[in-house]
Amino acid sequence: MTISKQDVLHVARLARLEIDEAKVNTFAGQLAKILEHVDMLNQIDTEGVKPTSHAIDLTNAFRDDEPAAHLENEKALANAPAKEDGAFIVPKVVG
């Protein structure tokens, strides 16, 4: 499929992209290759193939939410570089 310079500029305008005039021919060739590949995919017989949202079956990878004991304050602060009155000391980030 041949993509013209005007096609590239039209698509760029729709996408609100500024394209350097020197690269229009490069983009035309690249778009033509993409459309050739899509055309090749359209020729594949997919009769009887069930549509999917993923190529493989996925299951929820999360663990069950089970209540557990909380972390003691001393253990949470054990490796803190700076602490005071049971809290972390961090650098001030707001002026």
Report pLDDT digits (tens) over 30-83.
999 999 999 999 999 989 988 888 778 777 778 888 999 999 999 999 999 999
**Predicted local confidence at residue 44, as pLDDT:** 92
Helices (H) and strands (E) in the chain, counts: 3, 2
Q: Which class for 51: exposed (0-12), middle (13-18), buried (19 or more C-beta within 10 A)?
A: exposed
- Quote the distance between the C-alpha of residue 33 and its chain's center: 23
pTM of the shown model? 0.50
Does a structural domain hold residue 35?
Answer: yes
Does a structural domain hold residue 18?
Answer: yes
- Which pLDDT band holds residue 7 (cuts at 50, 70, 90)? very high
Does a structural domain hold residue 31?
Answer: yes
42 within 8 A of 1, measured Cβ to Cβ:
no
Does a structural domain hold residue 94?
Answer: no
Does a structural domain hold residue 77?
Answer: no
- The structural domain count of the chain equals 1
Does a structural domain hold residue 36?
Answer: yes
Does a structural domain hold residue 10?
Answer: yes
Q: Provide the residue range defining the domain that includes 37.
A: 5-42
Does a structural domain hold residue 15?
Answer: yes
**Predicted local confidence at residue 52, as pLDDT:** 83
Those residues whose C-beta lies under 8 Å from the C-beta of residue 90, and which sit 6 or more positions away, are: 82
